[in-house]
Amino acid sequence: MINKNDIFELGIGTWKIDYENIKNDMQSLIHSYNLGQNYLSLSMLYNNGEVVRQLKRFINKVDRDKLFIATNLEPTIECRDDIEKQLNEYLQILDIEYVDMLQLHKPSFSKIPLIDVYKEIQRLVNLGKVKYIGISNASLEQLSLINKEIKIDFFEGIYNLECKIYEDIKVLDYCDKNDIKFLCYQPLRRNRTAKRNYPLLVELASKYDKTQNQIILNWIINEKKMIALVKSTNINRINENKQALDFKMDIEDYERLNNFRSEEFDNVKVDWDDNGGISIDQLANQFE
């Protein structure tokens, strides 16, 4: 089993994995694993669970105990029994005895109080079916409410050069003070940030002879101390992402990236209650 402090800085994302042609992507997944990427993010929302079903082949080809398998509770949780039922589906499909982390994908996916969800996850930890507890797309209030009673180990949320809302509302500070690892979702905004050619990124890419995406990943991992979740089945891109860890930037350059702001994204009003507005998990998708 992998300790939470032994997770590689780049996680393997699985959104839009080509589940119908998984043999074509298998070489890339194995390559990522061989480079040290040991965090695998899974969701039954992806293609109605087909991604999870097909990735069983990948898990069978590697050392399961050297793979950190993170799973998500999806809509809709109407009672506490639904939580173990969803977990059991992952365990049965993947033919494994435990998951390394279980998290609620979005607070709005539960119809029962959040604290009840997490008391049930803690029970599953006590049974040995779950090793670590996470939460995703939550507000600071929701996170702190749960963490007062049930120890949270991981927080997954949007963070990138343009979307710094979790820094603004002090979630990053809270995670740092409470030994919660921050899992950075959409760190590259699916390559859309680089396509904007911000002068700062263009300058730093030239200065360090790296791509803009490498500059962003280096900053997020080395400066912000986050685990970056990046999906890629292109071996050249996987190597490029790994090479983002192989250099250091000047302190002042990290600070310039820290201070970068996007007025466009800063002005988006997030609907934390999912009442029809822009939810936090969709913030990074608002602009090209």
Per-residue pLDDT at 161? 98
Per-residue pLDDT at 50? 87
Per domain, the residue ranges of the chain are 4-285
Tokens 């912000």 belong to residue: 224
What tokens appear for 72 in the block? 């998500």
Per-residue pLDDT at 19? 67
Q: What whole-number distance in Å separates Cα of residue 14 and Cα of residue 22?
A: 11
Residue 233 CA neighbour count, 13 Å, CB half: 14
Q: What whole-number distance in Å separates Cα of residue 266 and Cα of residue 214?
A: 24
CATH of 4-285, one of 3.10.130.10, 3.20.20.100, 3.30.70.360, 3.40.50.720: 3.20.20.100
Per-residue pLDDT at 16? 73
Q: What whole-number distance in Å separates Cα of residue 17 and Cα of residue 259?
A: 34
Strands 227-230 and 181-185 come out as parallel
Phi–psi pair at 132, nearest 5 degrees = -130, 155
Q: What whole-number distance in Å separates Cα of residue 7 and Cα of residue 67?
A: 9
**How do the pLDDT tens digits run along the chain, 288 residues long?**
899 999 999 999 887 777 677 777 889 999 999 999 999 999 998 877 888 998 999 999 999 999 999 999 999 999 999 999 999 999 999 999 999 999 999 999 999 999 999 999 999 999 999 999 999 999 999 999 999 999 999 999 999 999 999 999 999 999 999 999 999 999 999 999 999 999 999 999 999 999 999 999 999 999 999 999 998 889 999 999 999 999 999 999 999 999 999 999 999 999 999 999 999 999 999 999
What tokens appear for 96 in the block? 């494994």
Per-residue pLDDT at 36? 97
Burial of residue 11 (CB within 10 Å: 0-12, 13-18, 19+) is: buried
Q: What whole-number distance in Å separates Cα of residue 183 and Cα of residue 193?
A: 19
Per-residue pLDDT at 186? 96
* Cα→Cα distances 282→71, 100, 237, 255, Å: 20, 26, 24, 27
Predicted TM-score (pTM) of this structure: 0.96
Cα dihedral sign for 285, 33, 5, 152? Answer: positive
Segment (H or E) for 69: strand 68-73
Per-residue pLDDT at 47? 75
Per-residue pLDDT at 1? 87
Q: What whole-number distance in Å separates Cα of residue 109 and Cα of residue 104?
A: 8
Measured torsion, CA atoms of residues 179, 185, 187, 189, in degrees rounded to the nearest 10: -160
